[in-house]
Amino acid sequence: MTSADRIDFEMEVEVESASSGPAVDAPNPTSPAPATPGGAKSVVVTTATSGSVTVSLHPLVIMNVSEHWTRLRAQEGSPQTVVGALIGKQKGRNIEVMNSFELVFSAIGEDIIIDREYYNLKEEQFKQVFSDMDFLGWYTTGETPTERDIAVHRQICDINECPVMLMLNPAGRDGEQLPVVLYESVIDVVNGRATMLLAPLTYTLAAEEAERIGVDHVARRSAIKMLVSRVRAVLATVRAIRDGNLPPRPALLREARALSNRLPLLTSQQFRTHFYN
């Protein structure tokens, strides 16, 4: 692991949005999702279907989910499951996912139980600020939906009869397509039984100019804040080694030196003039 990997915990999700005019198309794959790891059966429909709704997704939602996952990974030291709510507007078959907030849940074995009291409190709060927005569905992270996601989706159905599910893949590295897939639930007959499955939805990215500028500013600020915290951690470690509070770690010191060597030299006369005057 390089020194940059130690410092940069920020998951980069590139979102290209139009500053004006129609939304940017970001089609989802309509082919079946691969089987889940470990041989578990897939909960995604095995035939291509046309979605029952048209979805517009705002970049702010993607940034919120990314920040949620990145923050928990930095706090816990390993990837964590995140769950949150999607809010926005719905007119007929047209859904506009505009914002999101985190949800509290309990993990009992492999099951996830949503804290409904916390959701009710958050719903009351966001209704006071965004009175024209409604609860549309939920989000999580992962490569492909699992039976556990279906169980959570059933709980969400108690709040909204036809919720959408957004799944962001933190490990996605395909630069040509966003690592985000939206799903809706369908009932299909599997082995003679009615079974809930998830069908991918096609969505478009939509953002106004003000939102695009704001999201870009917040993303840069969050990245810089994370970088500053990691640099402070490196400095604290180096100082502890210097003061004898920690044993010498040559490999770590070499990485810290390599990182400092990547910084531009700020010893020019022009820099001193602007910095001290």
Contacts of 196 (CB under 8 A, 6+ apart): 43, 150, 153, 154, 185, 186, 187
What is d(CA 217, CA 222) in angstroms, rounded to the nearest whole number? 9
Please state, as a whole number, how many other Cβ atoms lie within 10 Å of the Cβ of residue 222. 16
Lowest mean pLDDT among 7-21, 41-55, 159-173, 186-200: 7-21
Question: For the chain, which residues make up each domain, given as ranges?
Answer: 19-207
Task: Spell out a b/e string for 82-107, using b for 16 or more CB atoms within 10 Å of the CB, else e.
Answer: bbbbbbbebeeeebbbbbbbbbebee
Give the pLDDT score at 12.
Answer: 40
Give the pLDDT score at 259.
Answer: 82
Contacts of 236 (CB under 8 A, 6+ apart): none
pLDDT band per the 50, 70, 90 thresholds, residue 53 = confident
What is d(CA 201, CA 33) in angstroms, rounded to the nearest whole number? 13
pTM across the whole model? 0.65
Tokens of 83: 């769950």
Between strands 134-141 and 164-168, the pairing is parallel
The better pLDDT of the pair 165, 33 is held by 165
Please say whether the beta carbons of 6 and 107 come within 8 A.
Answer: no
Please say whether the beta carbons of 3 and 184 come within 8 A.
Answer: no
Give the pLDDT score at 167.
Answer: 95
The domain defined by 19-207 folds into Cytidine Deaminase; domain 2 (3.40.140)
Residue 48 above 90 pLDDT? Answer: no
The better pLDDT of the pair 175, 13 is held by 175
DSSP 18: -
Give the pLDDT score at 120.
Answer: 94
Give the pLDDT score at 6.
Answer: 40
